[in-house]
Structure 1
Amino acid sequence: MNRSVEDADSAREKVAFLGAGAVSEALIAGALAGGLDPGDVWVTARSQEHVDALSAAHGVRGTTDNAAAAAQAGIVVLALPAAVVAGVLEEVAGRLREGAVVVSLADGVPLAELEQRLPEGVGAARAMPSLTAQAGEGLTLLTPGASCSAAQADAVGGFFERSGKVVRVAEEQHAVLGPLSSGGPAFVLHLAEAMIEAGAVRGVPRDLARELVTQVLTGSAAWLRADSREVAILREKVCAPGGAGIRRIAALDRYAVRAAVVSALGGAPPELP
């Protein structure tokens, strides 16, 4: 085997996270639980203290030197704000391995711009993960660029699959699907918080209410996955005519909860009263 190809294959599973925010930590935790060796993960942060904390927490390698970390990996994840992506790419471009893939998590940085800033032989991709990756149930929207070979795209997809589900989408779909995928957990957790508080109002201890609500959400998700019928049909199964369930749904409708969710996720946020 050609030495450069062999080196690329050995490096492909090595991942460098440039930027150590909440999304990086979620993906690292999920990928390690999914079988990735912590010795194959590099992470960078601006402060050595933050690097040391991440290394201690997860057993990964850490540095404050973006270029040094990028040089080790076959997959380089830019977990950075859009405003600093160009500067970091300039910093690391000359150290990237041939056959590596640079994956940007930054919203609003198009693939064409990434590819213009990368050397020949290095692929580019965009990804939009969710924080539920830390529990092994993430959802990542993935768009490999034209610069990615099939092997490179599969390697990136395989990495994100360690922490959940991967859906390959066209680049323009990130803006449309993002509120449902990466933003969706906030809506579910907001509802869960309200359900727990409703239990507390009725005298249920919050820890018990949380246990009940967690299982309700887990069971509902499993039911939704297992039964392909319309969601409205499944909901009607819980809401017998004249029963308490349908009256509670009617109360939600009086407060326009459904319309508010559709407005928030489907377009402009609802106007406050």
Structure 2
Amino acid sequence: MNRSVDSVGGAREKVAFLGAGAVSEALVGGALAGGLDPGAVWVTARSRDHVDALSASHGVRVTTDNAAAASEAGIVVLAVPAAGVAQVLDEIAGRLRDGAVVVSLADGVPLTELEERLPEGVGAARAMPSLTARAGEGLTLLTPGASCSAAQADAAAGLFARSGKVVRVPEDQHAVLGPLSSGGPAYVLYLAEAMIEAGAVRGVPRDLARELVTQVLTGTAAWLRADSREVATLREKVCAPGGAGIRRIAALDRHAVRAAVVSALGDAPPGLSPE
């Protein structure tokens, strides 16, 4: 995905990532791999050593001054914990460029709160990305606010599209979809770890088991994307009646693995009641 991120006026945009935690680093790495110019990227962190290391590894521009970085950018990614959002917005509000868009990654901070702290002409959006962005296969839930123009919303979407898929959703869907999107890699990795360990129990070296499991996951994802039939139908193709595959699925069912997954991912978020 190599389209450029453009400003409302058409000039190439600069992007500022305020905060350099794991998600921010994944987005930076994925966006750069997707064609974003390192010279157009600012990254901030509290620690000078941290930002210097990022500059050395990615070639991006760095500073410990949030306001200075934000003043250079048309897209400002607010990658700080929810408790720090208000403070950072107060730091940068007076330095933002007219027409800029501020995208918050903080879970639970509503768009109304962002928009109250931003000057007129600056758009606000919320995004929920995943760490798989570092591999160029991220999934970002994006919600532009009422303050966003179509061009601002598209610019934000274009940035996240460099490192994977972007799905625009209503704001109240973040809490519902988050366990499947940003949280999803943890559950898949949990299963991958168990499969690798199962191979080790059977005498398969862990590095070989990891290679096999990785390809199984890659191939299964590609199959799932390419074939629109029900997932159960695809699984049945692997599990012939009376065969080893169906017996192993039955063993998982005896241990209530399916029910455990539904329970872990399907519990209603706080404040919401199941239909």
1:63 is matched with which residue? 63
Partner of 2:97, secondary structure, is: coil
Alignment of 1:45-194 (within 5 A): 45-194=45-194
1:10 is matched with which residue? 11
* 8 Å contact from structure 1 (residues 8, 97) kept in 2: no
Partner of 2:204, secondary structure, is: coil
Given residue 162 of structure 1, which amino acid in structure 2 is its aligned partner?
R
TM-score using structure 1 length? 0.94
User: How far apart, CA to CA, are the structure 2 residues paired with 1:147 and 1:49?
Assistant: 36
1:251 is matched with which residue? 251
Report the number of matched residues. 264
* Residue 14 of structure 1, CA deviation: 1.1
User: 1:138-175: per-residue Cα shift (whole Å, max 9, x none)?
Assistant: 00000000100000000000000000000000000000
User: How far apart, CA to CA, are the structure 1 residues paired with 2:101 and 2:268?
Assistant: 35
Partner of 2:159, secondary structure, is: helix
Distance 1:243 1:74, change over 3 A: same
Partner of 1:98, secondary structure, is: coil
Distance 1:164 1:227, change over 3 A: same
* 8 Å contact from structure 2 (residues 124, 147) kept in 1: yes
Given residue 100 of structure 2, which amino acid in structure 1 is its aligned partner?
A
User: 1:193-222: per-residue Cα shift (whole Å, max 9, x none)?
Assistant: 110111111111111111100000000001
Is the counterpart of residue 236 in structure 1 residue 236 in structure 2?
A: yes
Given residue 69 of structure 1, which amino acid in structure 2 is its aligned partner?
A
Given residue 86 of structure 1, which amino acid in structure 2 is its aligned partner?
A
- Any gaps of 5 or more consecutive residues in structure 1? none
* 8 Å contact from structure 1 (residues 74, 101) kept in 2: yes
Report the structure, 1 or 2, having the larger helix content. Answer: 1
Q: Percent identity?
A: 86
* 8 Å contact from structure 2 (residues 128, 140) kept in 1: yes
Given residue 192 of structure 1, which amino acid in structure 2 is its aligned partner?
A
Partner of 1:204, secondary structure, is: coil
TM-score using structure 2 length? 0.94
Partner of 2:179, secondary structure, is: helix
Given residue 164 of structure 1, which amino acid in structure 2 is its aligned partner?
G
- Any gaps of 5 or more consecutive residues in structure 2? 1-5, 270-275
1:37 is matched with which residue? 37
Q: CA RMSD in A?
A: 1.5
* 8 Å contact from structure 1 (residues 8, 99) kept in 2: no
1:24 is matched with which residue? 24
Deviating above 3 A after TM superposition, structure 1's stretches of 4 or more consecutive aligned residues are 5-9
